[in-house]
Amino acid sequence: MIIGVMLAVVLEILDTSIVNVALPTMMGNLGATVDEISWVATSYIVANVIVIPMTSFFAAAFGRRRYFVGSIILFTVASFLCGAARTLPELVAFRVVQGLGGGALLALGQSIMVETFPAQRQGTGQAIFGVGAMLGPSLGPTLGGWITDVWAWPWIFYVNVPIGIAAALLCWSYLPRQRPENVRKREATDWSGIALLIVGISALQILLEIGHREDWFESNRIVGLSVVASIALVWFVVHELATEHPVVNLRVLRHRALVVGCTCGVAMGIGLYGSIFLFPLFTQNLLRWTSWQSGVAVLPSTLMTALMMPIAGRLVFRLGPAPLFGLGIAVFLPAVWGMSQWTGQSGFSDLFWPQIGRGMAMGLMFVPLSTATLRALPPEDLLQGAGLYNLFRQIGGSFGIAALATLIDHRGALHHAYLAESVSPLSEATRLRIAQLVSGLQQKGLDPSDALAGAYKIIEQSIAAQATALAFRDCYLIVFCVFVALIPLVPLMRRPPTPTPLPEVR
């Protein structure tokens, strides 16, 4: 059963990032523009985020096992159809279906792991789940690049089919029909809540996905999405707190452990997805590495995360979640500081140890945070709490990527302007550097005018590269500050009580 659940979780998270490296190839094959092809990734994430908070509602309506296995089957069928798609509208439509199927797998999978493992082994259960949750974003670009180069882009979807079939068979055969004791069948469907959630979350997620490309509030579309998201989400919160049978029971946020977990989950999303987003941009744009080299360079960090998860799982109930999570922050901060010191002359060895530190820290933080957040909830609130916890982490990742992408451009332009001010023909150092470059280019056979133009071009490229490196430094320092802000929350993480076993309903 555990193998089946983890296969489903890995598939869902892997497909969030695996398509990104194949987008340029898809763009050529499908005749799409950059903005059009980006919807292949955006549509999946939007559908995913919509379903996550409604997981508890659907599980109560259809039964946990039927809904979980049905979601795996829907995800698998949609994966095959994505690979078979021959036009962009077909691919985007099937990606939406794939996201609707995959959205349930994360929250349901985590709640199943909480219910399956006894309290004294809960750290082990969350470690197993965390391996899939943390490794998926890291392995996605590497695996996607390899599949696209060796086979073709449809195979990044076709490989899901046999794995999805295996996961569905294992879960149907071994997953007990077990639900929390107090889950009740709702007498009325909260259609208003569902509509508001779909509109609000869709507008927010699309805003975060395309905001950078459209220069944020300079675009009328972004302004419109902001207004729609604000009105719909505020109305949704008010409606859900007032209705008798809400589609998303926001009252579970009365538990302090869940509030702390969701807050830290946002930061974890920024740290995980943000650092993974920045690393290939830095290595490919500044160091001129290939996508394969960049993907391979992430593997040591990924393996370190996988190594630390079981260790943290064994220690969490001995030491408590707060010391382990605090240790994770203590490891993460110097690792991110080291990343902020990277330059255009950094080599593999300079990048290696900060990446190792990031992987170790993520392994140390994920297990105690998940354990302290979910194990403290009563059985009837577990699935709803898992949905909200994963939703906040996902939104944190989307917000982090959107903010960091904007910062790279804005800070890069700012640093470029400041650096260019100091490079003046009136400066003695600048004249000497130009003379050296002209002399070197003339020795390679260029005439004086071409050599002078080439010297100016080299200086401009040097300024641009330095400005980009400084922009990445600023982004990593922002991530550093986010985790510094988490330090006051560490003492609020309490050792969860030992719950009574859940009854099995057959």
Largest Cα–Cα separation, the chain: 87
What residue type is assigned to position 16 of the chain?
T
Decide if pLDDT at 500 tops 60.
Answer: no
CATH class of segment(s) 2-187+245-412+471-492: mainly alpha
Q: What mean pLDDT is predicted for residues 283-294? A: 79
Q: What's the whole-number mean pLDDT along residues 435-449?
A: 77
- Give the DSSP H or E segment for 467: helix 448-484
pLDDT tens figures, 125-158: 666 666 666 666 667 767 777 787 778 888 888 9
Give the containing element (helix H, strand E) for 274.
helix 256-281
CA atoms within 13 A on the CB side of 409: 11
Pick the more confident residue, 329 or 248. Answer: 329
Average pLDDT over residues 360-372: 86
Domains of the chain, residue spans: 2-187+245-412+471-492, 189-244, 419-470
pLDDT for residue 377? 82
Tokens encoding 354 = 């900060």
**pLDDT for residue 181:** 44
According to the model, what pLDDT value does residue 123 have? 58
CA atoms of 305 and 324, how far apart (whole Å): 14
Would the pTM count as exceeding 0.85? no
Say how far apart CA 68 and CA 27 lie, in whole Å: 33
Report the chain's terminal Cα–Cα distance, integer Å: 17
What whole-number distance in Å separates Cα of residue 308 and Cα of residue 332?
13
Q: What is the pLDDT of residues 24-65, one digit of tens each?
A: 777 777 877 766 777 887 788 888 888 888 888 888 778 888
pLDDT of residue 497: 60
> What's the pLDDT band for 312 if we cut at 50, 70, 90?
confident
Per-residue pLDDT, averaged over 330-338, amounts to: 94
256's tokens: 């302090």
Closest CA to 196 of 137, 246, 158: 246
Q: Which of 119, 266, 245 is nearest to 258 (CA)?
A: 266
